[in-house]
Structures are given as structure tokens and as C-alpha cells.
Structure 1
Amino acid sequence: MSQEVQKLDIKKLLKSVVAYKASDLHLVANSEPQIRRDGRLVALNLPVLDGDMITDMAYSLLSEKQKKDFEEFNELDFAIMIPDVGRFRSNYYKTMGDIACAFRIIPTDIPSLDDLNAKKIFKELVKREKGLILVTGPTGSGKSTTLAAMLNEINETEKKHVITVEDPVEFVHKNKKSLFSQRNVGTDTNGFHTALKYALRQDPDVILIGEMRDKETIGAALTAAETGHLVFGTLHTNSAPQTINRIIDVFGGDEQPQVRAQLSTSLIAVISQALIPRIGGGRIAAQELLVVNPAIANLIREDKVHQLYSQMQLNQQSTSMTTQTQEIIEFLRKKIISKENAIGFSNRPEELIKMIEGL
């Protein structure tokens, strides 16, 4: 191992993420450190790392318990605040026998909905007393940021008890008007389903579920939304109709009618988003928004999810709904994104191409 490599310091590498306005840092053996800027990986002009070097850097951030957990399961998720650098969501894993690391920066300043140029209806949605609001999209699509801004709106305007269950806790909210109880899966609770089971006894008004991963968690979220709580959750789905299908398909055939009925009465909205590179740098969120009204609820209850998309396109000025294709077309008109990226990030590329041809 060269002296130059020995001088590499994990905190300095994480500082480079901030300095380059990147989102992620990757440390993988037999590669130089790489960062992700505007959605694309960029190698730093540094020496190639080996497994021992990554192990030394990675372990310097861990407690003894975290080291034991990683050595037992070969996987570790945690969040860490490094003074004078920033807060990061971290994942350690093994690749070909060596440790590898992925760090994602978490802004310490929580954005407002206005900062995100969010649609006006978002402020109305978070004022609901009960129901389920889902924010969906692929990994790295800004779901956590959108949710943080929505919870921040509640924090600034409502006196509520907000419980978040995350793996790990990302944005740390300071109590303003609301009271926050933020729980890390693994250290504060054994799992999402367990935390939700007991959350109902902790007098919450609002519950955030970091990820609705399984049938038990989804079922508990629906129950919480039905019993007078405002519930926020995430799924890795690319569109609003796909999100509803995913939830229903998690359950067995004999349970699906009940789940459809629950969704039709408790679902408030689905926000599906993708972050698309801007021309000239940075990224912008293209959001598809489904807001449940009597017509949408009826389609869900009657197992006609395939008709949701066309329903979303009707009377949009009064419903506030929008499709991702419409958002992308607007970005193209304003020359915010390229045609190539528009098609590449679209959840309905064939529809988008036809609309582009008609411009």
C-alpha cells in the first residue's frame, strides 16, 4: 500500500462530497473513490483503493456493536453526523470478500415545500387528519427530501405528535410547533412492523414509515390510516397506478378485496417522482400526482386500476392531478431538460415520444 493511499482519510473523502455538491460517495476495492454528481458517477483523482484501506476507513466510523453487527450479517445501514462535514446515510456491504461502502449526504437544513417549488396542493394534503400519503420512485429520486419537506410543513403549522420509523433516520427534525419521536430500525426498534404495532399506543397524530417493505408493514400502515392517523410511506414504484397494484399484489387473492376497500377509503394521494438531470447541471423532480376523489376510489374498490391513468387526465384543474408525461413535456417546453433524458427517465416513453413529435 503506497504512502499516498495511506494518507486518505474517510472524513476528507466525505468532505469532497460536500465540496463537489455530489449526492453519494462509493468506496469499492480495486477502484479509486467515486462520487455521484447530478446522477452520474465521477471518479476522484485519487489512488486505487484496496480492501484493507477501505476496511480501516470504514471501521473508523463504527461503534463496537456496529462492527459486530456487520461482521455477523455482512450488511449494515446507519446514519452518521460528522462535525464540520455533514450528515450521511451509510451502507456497508461485501463484494468479492472485501468491504465496500456507499455514503449518501443528508442535508442538515430541512427544505420547505416552497424551497422545492412543490405544488400548492401539497400544503393542503398535509393538513388532513387521517389517511395515507405515499411518495414513490426509484432509489435516489428524492423521496426522503419530499417527505421531509411535508413533515416540515406540519412542524411549522400544526401542533402534532409525529413518529417516524426509518432505516436509518435521515432528516433530523427539530421540534417547532410539533413534537417529533424519530426511531431507527435496529437500535430504537426491531423492525417497521413492530414499531407500527406499538406506535398506535404512543399517541401519534402523524406516522412516517421509511419503507413499506412487506405485507405486515403495509397492512399495519393501512390500519393506522383507517384509525385516525395521517400516515406517510414510501415504495420503490415508478407511477401512481403501479403503486396501487404493488400494494394489492402483496396480499393473497382472498385478502385483496378487503385491501382494495381499505385503500379506496384511506388513500389520500400518491406522489411518484424521478429526478432528471437539468441542462447545465443539477436535477429537477418530475412528479406524477394522483389525488383520491370519489371516481378514483370507486376504480380502486372495483379492481379497475388499469383505468386510473385516464381518470387522472380528466378535469385536472379541479383535481390537481398530473401525469409524469405532462410534467416532462412542460420541462421540455421550458428547455430545462434534454429530450434524451426526458425519454430515458419517463415511465411511459412511448406516450412521451408521441407527444414530443406533436410539439
Structure 2
Amino acid sequence: MPDTTEQPAPLKDSPTDILHFEKWLAILGERQATDLHLAVGNVPMLRLDGAITPLLEEDILTAERLNTIVRHLLAEDELKILESEREVIVSQTLKKVMRFRIHVFYSRSFLSLSMRYLPAEEPNLEALGLPDLIKECRTAERGLLFITGPFDSGRTTTVRALLSAINQTRADYIVTLEKPIEYLIPSVKSVVVQRAIGRDAKDFASALTALNEEDANVIVISKLDTQETVEQALTLAASGRLIIAVGDSRHALGLIEQLRDLFPESQRSRVLSLLADSLIGIVAQLLLPRLGGGRILISEVLRGTNPVKSLIRDNKLVQLRTIMQTARAEGMVTLDQSLAQAVKSGSVALATAKEQAIDQNQFNSLVSH
């Protein structure tokens, strides 16, 4: 097995290797795939409608070909990060019009590459089938909105659609903190400033600290995973800014538990109180295969109503699901309720929905009634 600390020898770009790579990008565009995956010992793989699809007509990738592609893609400073950290994430525009989020990493001592296509077309808030809570935030001036979900759940698209709506209708100062910057957002009616963590700012904590004294109306934070960044986000929300934060929990309760558990027991009551004071709501989402082709958005919605805020302050988080189950009239819904509705409407296969259910007994009951 090769030594994991050994770096590939410098290579010159092979025109043939780069031509093959550009052909795979063209195939991705033609087939409307979302991702391209390259790994040594496999043929190139696309993700179509959520499923991995091998390009069987292509040659199996060699280490030499993948090394050449990586060196073609990354700048010198990015290659240095790859050498020291063993992975790097960047965003680039390729073929002049195709933008990608690119993750280069090592697997079994060989370089691997995963690329997520970032469509240039701005998503339409109305056309995406998003919950009303997201649409209402077009006019929100203060508070904290979370958009959460696993990888490939449409979180970035939701945030981008909301920012686009604000950008086109409000004369605000919008700041995004991202790692990396995925979509480039031009200023329209608002001024949009996008800061790449690691390049434009040292880290999320220092970037958030600077925003305390900056004239920002809307702040987007792509990651909240430390005590310091959560504290700063809560402080900014309390100061009269609209904070849109991205999480990775599959459901609202899990997100609140994640934030709470970042802090020692002695501080949790204070943090939960601050969270309750500023919370607009939490939207958790999934993208699942739609029967007949394509994918469908499945959402869970928790609104920051007075009963919800009271339970959060008292750390009675397990009771939040009961409120969501019984507050459909207020625009709340659990993930299991949304999954059951998708099955009943013929949009999602029962087996697919069941795999994603939070409470299997509750889900089975909802589907059968």
C-alpha cells in the first residue's frame, strides 16, 4: 500500500486527460446531473435524480489521470492546503459558464474528487414548493431562521432563493459568510457582500465579531458548530439583524439539541433563553426521488410561537414534536407528517419515505389513516 504521507510527483497537464475531464463536464450538463465523482479504480460517476450512475463507456480512472485533473483545477495555495490538510473545498467556474463546488480529498492514499454543479439560474421562491415560513422571511427584519438538513437536501438552493427575493425587493446590506462561496450573487436592490472563510476572513468567529460593528441588515452563516459562533449569531439576532443560519440536522428538534449540547450544563439555560428570544423558526428539509422521475422537497417546519419559545426556554425539547403535530393550522408540520402526505399523494414510494421517518410507529399510523 502506498505511503499516505507521500505526495505525487509534479506533473504537467496532459491535454488528453483534460479533454476527457471536460467531456465528463459536458455529459453532466447534457444529462442534467447534479454531481460528478472521480475515484481511482472506478469509471467516472454522475448523480442523476439522486442516484449514482456510472459512465460505463469511459475508461477506469488511474492515479496519474486524477493527479493531472486536480493540478489543472487547483491554484498553488489550494494545492498547499491539500498537502497539509489532506483535503480542500473550493468553488470554481469551469467552461466559462458552469460553476462547481469542488471537494478534493484522499481515499486509500489516492486523490479523489467530488464536484457539485451549481446552476446559474436563480431559483424562484414561489416555484420551489417551499414552506410559507420561508416566504414570510422576505419581509422579516430581525430574528433567527435556521434551514437545516443533510447533504444534498437543497439547503443552499433554499437560502439562495430567499436571498434573491430579499435582494430584488429590499434596499438592505446583505453579508454572507461561506466556506467556500458557492453561488455568486450580484447586488440588485440590496448590496450583497460575500466573504469566503479562510480567504476573506480567518474563520467564522472573527468574521462574526467584525459584523457586530458593521451596518448589516441580513447575515447568512453557512456553519454554526462552536460555542463562540452560536453565541455571536444569537447576539447579532438580538441586535435587530435577520440571521439566516444553515444546519445539518435532519429535523428541528435535533438542531436545537445540537446547539444546546455545544455548551456546558451551566450555560445551557442562558443559551436556550437567547435562542427562544430570537427564533423565527426552523425548516428541516430532504430531497427524495419522486415517483415518475425527478426529486421532491419534503419539509418539517417549527415556528417560533410563544408555546414553542416557552418549551425551549424550559429545555422541554421533546415536547416540541407534539406541538408541531397539532399545529398544522399555524403552519407547522413534522417530517413524518410530510413524508406520509407524500406517500398518500403518490409522489414518493412507501419504502423510500419509511427509510427517512423519524418515528416509525407514528409514520405507519399516519400512512394508514
Q: Normalising TM by the smaller chain, what interval?
A: over 0.9
Cα deviation for residue 273 of structure 1 reads: 0.6
Structure 2: how far apart are the matches of 1:199 and 1:81? 28
Give a deviation string over 1:11-69, Cα, whole Å, max 9, x none: 22222222211111111111111111122111112111011110101110111211222
Mapped contact 1:18–1:85 kept (Cα < 8 A): no
Give a deviation string over 1:301-334, Cα, whole Å, max 9, x none: 01111100111123422x2111112222222222
* Equivalent residues in 2 for 1:14-25, closer than 5 Å: 14-25=25-36
Q: 1:115 aligns with which of 105, 127, 144?
A: 127
Question: Which residue matches 1:175?
Answer: 187
Structure 2: how far apart are the matches of 1:350 and 1:19? 42
Structure 2: how far apart are the matches of 1:14 and 1:39? 18
Structure 2: how far apart are the matches of 1:103 and 1:128? 34
TM-score (norm 2): 0.92
Q: 1:53 aligns with which of 65, 73, 77?
A: 65
Question: Which residue matches 1:349?
Answer: 360
Give 2:342's aligned amino acid: F
Question: Which residue matches 1:293?
Answer: 305
How large is the Cα RMSD of the aligned pairs?
Answer: 1.7
Question: Which residue matches 2:103?
Answer: 91
* Equivalent residues in 2 for 1:136-175, closer than 5 Å: 136-175=148-187
Mapped contact 1:9–1:57 kept (Cα < 8 A): no
Tell me the percent identity.
29
Q: In structure 2, do the counterparts of structure 1 residues 7 and 260 end up closer, same or farther at CA, with 3 Å as the change threshold?
A: closer
* Equivalent residues in 2 for 1:131-280, closer than 5 Å: 131-280=143-292
Mapped contact 1:113–1:149 kept (Cα < 8 A): yes
* More displaced stretch, 32-41 vs 328-337: 328-337
Cα deviation for residue 221 of structure 1 reads: 1.0
Aligned-partner SS, 1:152: helix
Structure 1: how far apart are the matches of 2:18 and 2:137? 50
Cα deviation for residue 173 of structure 1 reads: 1.2
* More displaced stretch, 152-161 vs 62-71: 62-71
Cα deviation for residue 83 of structure 1 reads: 3.3
Cα deviation for residue 338 of structure 1 reads: 0.8
Structure 2: how far apart are the matches of 1:58 and 1:20? 23
- In the alignment of these two chains, the number of paired residues is 355
Cα deviation for residue 270 of structure 1 reads: 0.3
Question: Which residue matches 2:10?
Answer: none
* More displaced stretch, 80-89 vs 154-163: 80-89
Question: Which residue matches 1:324?
Answer: 335
Give 1:115's aligned amino acid: A
1:311 aligns with 2:323: yes
* Equivalent residues in 2 for 1:67-106, closer than 5 Å: 67-106=79-118
Structure 2: segments with no counterpart, 5+ residues: 1-13
Question: Which residue matches 2:47?
Answer: 36
TM-score (norm 1): 0.95
* More displaced stretch, 161-170 vs 327-336: 327-336
Structure 1: how far apart are the matches of 2:55 and 2:356? 26
Cα deviation for residue 281 of structure 1 reads: 1.4
Structure 1: segments with no counterpart, 5+ residues: none
Mapped contact 2:341–2:367 kept (Cα < 8 A): no
Structure 2: how far apart are the matches of 1:55 and 1:164? 33
Q: In structure 2, do the counterparts of structure 1 residues 148 and 48 end up closer, same or farther at CA, with 3 Å as the change threshold?
A: same
Structure 2: how far apart are the matches of 1:6 and 1:101? 14
Give 1:181's aligned amino acid: V
Q: In structure 2, do the counterparts of structure 1 residues 7 and 192 end up closer, same or farther at CA, with 3 Å as the change threshold?
A: closer
> Runs ≥4 in structure 1, deviation > 3 angstroms?
3-8
Cα deviation for residue 263 of structure 1 reads: 0.8
Aligned-partner SS, 1:238: coil
Mapped contact 1:208–1:231 kept (Cα < 8 A): yes
Cα deviation for residue 348 of structure 1 reads: 2.7
